[in-house]
Amino acid sequence: MTDDVALTTLPATPVRYRFVSVHRIVGFSELRTIPELLTARELPLDLHMTGVSANLTIDPNQALTEIDRGAALGHLMLLGFFSGQRAPGDLLTAIHEKASGYAQERLKKFGAPGVYLVLEARGDVISTQAEVARDLGGAMFAFDAVDKKALIAPYAPLVSAAVAAVALCVDTTSDVANVADGVELTLPDDRPLYSLTFSGGTATVIASRPATDTDARAIEESLAALIRDERLHSPARLLVDALRSTNDRLEAFIFGWAALEMVIRKYTVGCESGKWVKTVPPADREFASILHKQFVDGGHQYYSLTAKTRVFALTHRFGSGEDLAAEVARIRRVYREPLYHEGAITQHLPVEEVVALAKRLIAAATSDVDHLAG
């Protein structure tokens, strides 16, 4: 009897999956409960969604144990670790040791202590038949047993919404770092079916503050609004892209500006009809009427972006919107237009300013969604 790793096939099999996405929230330094302000290890987020859970935690490694083991398996395969005569127990030990190293490296890279958003989704899927699989005794692996891209694609909007909801509630810096995304697979006999797909990200050390359960409740409300209103799906995704791109300021500016401009345009569709004037609070309705009359008298076909910004401001309780419109117009004139039309890249792109504006507008839109839902 040989102690080699057994070669076998894996037929199409019902498999339980667990998708996990982890982000470091740079603007939070630790977790605390209130009113006692006691240090906490985890603050759960109630998403009111079957099969999906989320929490803020100071330990990202617990959620990534099996993901790390799958990554370790892939690494050992590339090194030719399976070419010799090795007992399954030895292989599992090597996998666990390598995975432990990944966990330690992660904390060094992304920070400890720190605060991480962990989003998990669970479900069932039928694996494809794998002609070559290996039985490790306590686990199995097979090539291309599950199409992971197709599996996790439906969760991409939810991940963007969750990260954006957290960012909207951070009042220091809203930078985030994508730590890992992965899929854990479990066979009907409860043994792991290792996946070799994993990813990592980068982090930046910036001023931060503790996160409390008040923040957790605010995040839940923002996330619910971001999910309910389809108009917010793309702006939220672009905002997250901007937050993930802080090491590339040009990319971050482009994503941030796109989020800002998109939320303005999506919430002012059809404003040329003037019907929006009646939705403005009474204190600002006269200003709204004057703005629309100027548009009509000017014989224009469409509202300009500056005018649309005023409409957004007026319909989302920003007052007259003069300051907001002036700021958007300035950034557009000084930075956006030269970049898009002339390819001119200014040395100091106002990334933080654009991201802050995008956050402010999306937050106003989510408040509007909550108001209508209530």
At 279-306, the pLDDT tens digits run 999 999 999 999 999 999 998 889 999 9
Least confident span in 49-53, 209-213, 336-340: 209-213
Has residue 205 got a pLDDT over 50? Answer: no
Q: Residue 185: beta bridge partners?
A: 17, 193
The average confidence (pLDDT) of the chain is: 83
Residue type, 319: G
Has residue 210 got a pLDDT over 90? Answer: no
Q: Where are the alpha helices (DSSP H) in 111-248?
A: 148-152, 156-168, 213-228, 233-244
pLDDT score for 200: 36
Indicate the SS3 state at residue 123: strand
pLDDT score for 161: 93
Paired tokens of 65: 């144990």
Return the DSSP state at 230: G
pLDDT score for 201: 35
Q: CB neighbours of 162 closer than 8 A, spacing ≥ 6?
A: 21, 45, 54, 117, 119, 219, 223
The C-alpha atoms of residue 324 and residue 322 are separated, in whole angstroms, by 6
**What digits encode the pLDDT tens for the residues 7-42?**
677 888 899 999 999 999 988 888 988 777 778 889
Q: Residue 195: beta bridge partners?
A: none
- The average pLDDT across 231-252 equals 88
The C-alpha atoms of residue 5 and residue 16 are separated, in whole angstroms, by 24
pLDDT score for 202: 30
CB 116 within 8 A of CB 211: no
- The average pLDDT across 135-141 equals 79
pLDDT score for 279: 92
CB 116 within 8 A of CB 167: no
pLDDT score for 113: 73
Global pTM reads 0.73
Task: For the chain, give the percent of residues with pLDDT over 70.
Answer: 87
The C-alpha atoms of residue 335 and residue 357 are separated, in whole angstroms, by 15
The enclosing H or E element of 137 equals none
pLDDT bracket for residue 371 (50, 70, 90): very low
Q: What are phi and psi of 17, to 5 degrees?
A: -120, 155
Return the DSSP state at 43: E
Closest CA to 238 of 220, 226, 225, 228: 226
